[in-house]
Chain A
């Protein structure tokens, strides 16, 4: 196989690693047990490089690169944590917490939330920015699921899983800037009788926060299973 001859070697956090040329820095780091925080990335979905938590440094380059989309290059020297990166990551999380209403104690995802987990992992103890407390709607029109925009971090995982895996493309984003909002169909209620939703629940499973949840389930009863995707893709490829 010609690809085999093209194996690249690089250094991540001082560790020599090897990679296929089509791999991202994130792939290779994780293969080698190096943890890089991510939010918008999910194995099995296309990458958008939007949350910017996975930014890493490359020696000789002033610009930070998102590890989830940046491809490996021969001889690259990658640093996944530095004072500078840590500062940006914490600030990004703070910005998220201040942006909408992430009140963990009263959230269905409490204990099962990737945002909450990252905040703990990165040692976020307080938020320096004023909370914006927007008054956002909750769409409970669907018979099985609820969409609470107050908890949405606009990672677009729901949009991508629905379009790329389920093939229904129910979700999209409307608006600009702080007014962005995920919508179902053309901004119709999720439970609308003409909705294109297949009720598969994939979006609920991949949502990193309590924005999308199954009705009647709270906290520990609501473990999300975003890891089904790689298996699903593998099975589809095998067919």
Chain B
């Protein structure tokens, strides 16, 4: 394979598309599929056959606006249809080249216009199982350029220059990590893609793998070339069957096109990827636990150092990156590190995909440049909280993060500013809460998550989360005291500072951040025996007597 051959494949696809007057893209992401968008596609195909029109009906990955699903996108005039059902099939086909179906029009310009799609550029645009469609949108140019034109060190230089940082939560500079693995002395090295994604409310990585799997595969291959690895693993949780099946097909397609396997692009570079299924433990997303899990051991974290870059899978130097981190790589190689570094803030470059959920109108997947004010994401792109409700907080970083209150909505999204606000970027979950959410209850929810997901290896996390959960439960049910609150704060400090891995170290964050911004709600529960949001079931007996 060389650039010319890629070009040929691309023109093949373009020529084929020219045979059609229209493209009808039907979203087959998990969200729309759950509303039977596969039946809609079949109905559209049947209606099309009857109509005699020339249209290409394409299965695509997630279009992002899951709240309005099932979605259908009609090209060439970029007409987005929402809440499509099987019953609409005839009307949709009849509307091709005629008047659009008024009741299905989705007019959310601002939702899309404010976004900047790098990682999601192909999502909802191509058939995720057709490698040629990926190639037709410049796919694999990055890999071919790397293999034929660049030394591994040049690749790492581009990544370093781009300023890309890990999208799995920690934000570690990707170029630096690649450089470490590249420098490690070993015959055998591994590349691992972390697709465990266990945070509640997060579905960025799942969607990426479902919608544009070749992008992740290409990113991994480029990484493998850069660090000197010939074997890769994609670790996906078994609860993501669609991602797994699309990946399986995509790996086969990449091998068929000679983009995985031996002597890729006629060079001495060999690389292949295997899928490993996780059993859905949150802690298995932690890199050392994930590695243990691939090795067939119990998925528990171990003390670092040594870091995986020095001693990872089977004791060999191992590069482990998040799905979205890898998904950025092909574009960086194609457009250059400097191009990427021009997006974002001084220290947080590029874009970030967020899974916008909770009490918000436009639930779905969004990709925005780093540095965008939170307000623009929540109120602009997200459309704000539903009618009649008031915004209270936005939770980022999942169980490791915190809640950001209304008065801080103007901060920009970047690794630094979110940490400063007592939360963190995390992997990209963004849960919006309104006045019907009780912040103590929210803290309890996340603590319960950490408690049940703790691997149990170290004492502060295993036993500390249980006690914190008990204290939060007491406060929620109105039996908590001020002593309980002090004890809770004290425990937060020990669990944060003494736990072995990131799960325990960050488990207190939801408590600490809600205490920082919503202390009054804690006091209401403890002193006034009242839950202003009306969520907690407090026994009012005490109030009546007084």
A residues sitting closer than 8 Å to B (CB atoms) are: 47-52, 55, 63-64, 66, 69, 84, 87-88, 91-92, 95-96, 98-99, 128-130, 132, 153-154, 172-173, 175-180
Contacts and interface: CB of A to CB of B under 8 A. Distances in A.
B497 A64 contact: yes
B81 to A, nearest CB: 44
A226 B460 CA distance: 25
28 contacts: A47-B303, A50-B457, A50-B458, A51-B459, A52-B458, A52-B460, A52-B498, A64-B498, A84-B497, A91-B460, A92-B459, A95-B459, A95-B460, A95-B464, A96-B463, A98-B463, A129-B467, A129-B470, A130-B467, A130-B470, A154-B462, A176-B452, A177-B451, A178-B454, A178-B456, A178-B463, A180-B456, A180-B462
Contacts of A92: 459-460, 494, 498
A236 B493 CA distance: 44
Interface in B60-111: none
Contact of A178 (B458, B460, B462): B462
Contacts of B466: 99, 132, 177-178
Interface string B370-401: 00000000000000000000000000000000
Nearest to A65: B303
B456 A87 contact: no
Contacts of A52: 458-460, 498-500
Contact of B454 (A91, A130, A172, A177): A177
B456 A179 contact: yes
Given A88-B494, A128-B487, A177-B465, A66 B303 contact: yes
Contacts of A172: 298
Interface string B457-500: 11110111111001000000000000000010011011001111
Given A154-B462, A176-B453, A176-B454, 19 more contacts: A48-B303, A49-B458, A50-B458, A52-B459, A55-B497, A66-B500, A87-B490, A88-B494, A91-B490, A91-B494, A95-B460, A96-B459, A98-B463, A98-B467, A99-B466, A128-B487, A173-B298, A177-B466, A178-B451
Nearest to B486: A128
Size range of the chain B interface in the assembly:
20 to 34
Given A52-B500, A92-B498, A130-B470, A177 B452 contact: yes
Most buried by A among B281, B302, B470, B498: B498
B254 interface: no
A88 B505 CA distance: 13
Contacts of B462: 99, 154, 177-178, 180
A55 B458 CA distance: 12
Given A95-B463, A130-B470, A177 B455 contact: yes
B364 to A, nearest CB: 32
A88 B451 contact: no
A19 B340 CA distance: 47
A176 B456 contact: yes
Given A69-B303, A128-B487, A175 B459 contact: no
Residue with the greatest number of chain B CB neighbours at <10 A, chosen from A49, A64, A154, A177:
A177
A178 B455 CA distance: 9
B470 to A, nearest CB: 6
A95 B490 CA distance: 12
Contacts of B302: 48-49
B498 A48 contact: no
B284 to A, nearest CB: 11
A130 B471 CA distance: 9
A99 B493 CA distance: 19
Nearest to B504: A52
B311 to A, nearest CB: 13
A176 B298 CA distance: 10
Contacts of A175: 456
B494 A87 contact: yes
A64 B476 CA distance: 33
B456 A154 contact: yes
Nearest to A69: B303
B139 to A, nearest CB: 40
- Ordered nearest first, which 9 A-B pairs have the shortest CB separation? A180-B456, A95-B463, A49-B303, A177-B454, A91-B494, A52-B498, A99-B463, A69-B303, A88-B498
Nearest to B452: A177
Nearest to A39: B459
A184 B467 CA distance: 28
Nearest to B283: A176
Contacts of A55: 497-498
A132 B465 CA distance: 13
A87 B462 CA distance: 18
A123 to B, nearest CB: 17
Nearest to B299: A176
A26 to B, nearest CB: 13
B75 to A, nearest CB: 48
A74 B464 CA distance: 34
Contacts of A173: 298, 456
Nearest to B490: A91
A185 to B, nearest CB: 15
Contacts of A154: 456-457, 459, 462
Interface in B524-543: none
Contacts of A69: 303
Interface string B488-523: 001101100111100000000000000000000000
